[in-house]
Amino acid sequence: MYNTKAYSAASATSPLASDTIARRDLTEHDVQIEILFCGICHSDLHMVRNEWGGGTVYPIVPGHEMVGRVTQVGSAVTKYKPGDLAGVGCMVDSDGSCPNCKTGLEQFCPNLTLTYNSPDKHLGGVTYGGYSDSIVVDERFVLRVPTNLDLPGVAPLLCAGITTYSPLRHWGATKGKKVGVVGIGGLGHMGVKFARAFGAHVVVFTTSPNKKEDALRLGADEVVVSRNADEMHQHAGSFDFILDTVSANHDINAYLNLLRLDGNITLVGAPEKPLEVAAFSLIMGRRSLSGSNIGGIAETQEMLDFCGEHNITADVEVIPIQKVNEAYERLLKSDVKYRFCIDMASLKSE
């Protein structure tokens, strides 16, 4: 083992603070990465404050949107060498043998190891995430980062990016299709960028009229204020696919009724309370409602390569790690356009 600097929380009510954590020495298949930038995901806040069913183990080191530089590799590593740019997302291991793993869907593996707060089969305890100087990861879960992209904007692609890319790809949101994106926050702004790059006609739904200009800047063809019944009615029965990124409680039936025959809505936001779905909203038009959860490693690499080709990154506000607690408070108020990213060089001063 070796020690590295990190930021951790000691309890659900403690602020994140400077700490030292242990990382494993390299096995033959491992890659050691110096973390340069780490995005802040809303799930980091939920986990730190133990808001998802009491599963948080303390101390917790959050962070699953990492971009860095390879510093060492194990003797059997073939894909990476020191100096390479690399990324690590929401998962760092899986069993590799289940049907999901064998089809490139590691995110649905029943024995998945998450990047943080997941049982650590190497050191015991739980895994620690990217609010740290370095990390050691099996090369199967390391991703190659395009060298032409702005690195702070790449970090959130490892979660927000693949979370929106995967369902858009799965449901064929391509040229000739009419695609809606509900909400224009950390997830929604990426959904707009991807849908536009795929060639779809993109309509953004927002409760805030003052977001119209930004939605158009991001690539939307149209913007609908969802509280305006007339604007909503004009789009009835016309969408092939709608990506719902909203985590607040909202009327899902209002969007189901906008789908054409065999249209689909996929949820990537996670409202606290169950959504009420009217049966006839599905029955009339053979519509479907589904969910999606990040993507497998191969698809995540495909997404990064696509971003490199189309020059797509997240819109980020870069902060030093010393402002992470302030960023969490601002995140609760949706006071960011559209993701926070930590410059991990700031940790060296701790």
> Would you list the DSSP string of 286-315?
T-EEEE-----HHHHHHHHHHHHHHT----
What is the model's pLDDT at position 152? Answer: 98
3-state DSSP call for residue 53?
coil
| Dihedrals phi, psi of 225, to nearest 5 degrees | -80, 110
Round the average pLDDT of the chain to a whole number and report it. Answer: 96
How far is residue 312's CA from residue 153's CA, in Å, rounded to a whole number? 9
User: Cα separations (Å) of 294 from 41, 187, 190, 318?
Assistant: 13, 11, 13, 23
Residue 134 has pLDDT above 90, yes or no: yes
pTM value > 0.85: yes
Nearest to 220 by CA among 165, 181, 172: 181
With 0-12 / 13-18 / 19 or more C-beta atoms within 10 angstroms meaning exposed / middle / buried, residue 170 is: middle
How far is residue 149's CA from residue 66's CA, in Å, rounded to a whole number? 14
How far is residue 92's CA from residue 153's CA, in Å, rounded to a whole number? 21
How far is residue 303's CA from residue 313's CA, in Å, rounded to a whole number? 11
Q: What's the gap between Cα 267 and its chain centre?
A: 13
Query: What are the pLDDT digits (tens) for 175-217?
Result: 999 999 999 999 999 999 999 999 999 999 999 899 999 999 9
User: Cα separations (Å) of 291 from 218, 250, 267?
Assistant: 24, 16, 5
How far is residue 93's CA from residue 91's CA, in Å, rounded to a whole number? 6
Nearest to 6 by CA among 156, 129, 158, 151: 129
Residue 53 has pLDDT above 90, yes or no: no
Query: What are the pLDDT digits (tens) for 284-298?
Result: 999 999 999 999 999
- Percentage, residues of the chain above pLDDT 90: 96
- Report, as an integer, the average pLDDT of 58-70: 98
Name residue 186's amino acid: G
Query: What are the pLDDT digits (tens) for 245-285?
Result: 999 899 999 999 999 999 999 999 988 889 999 999 999 99
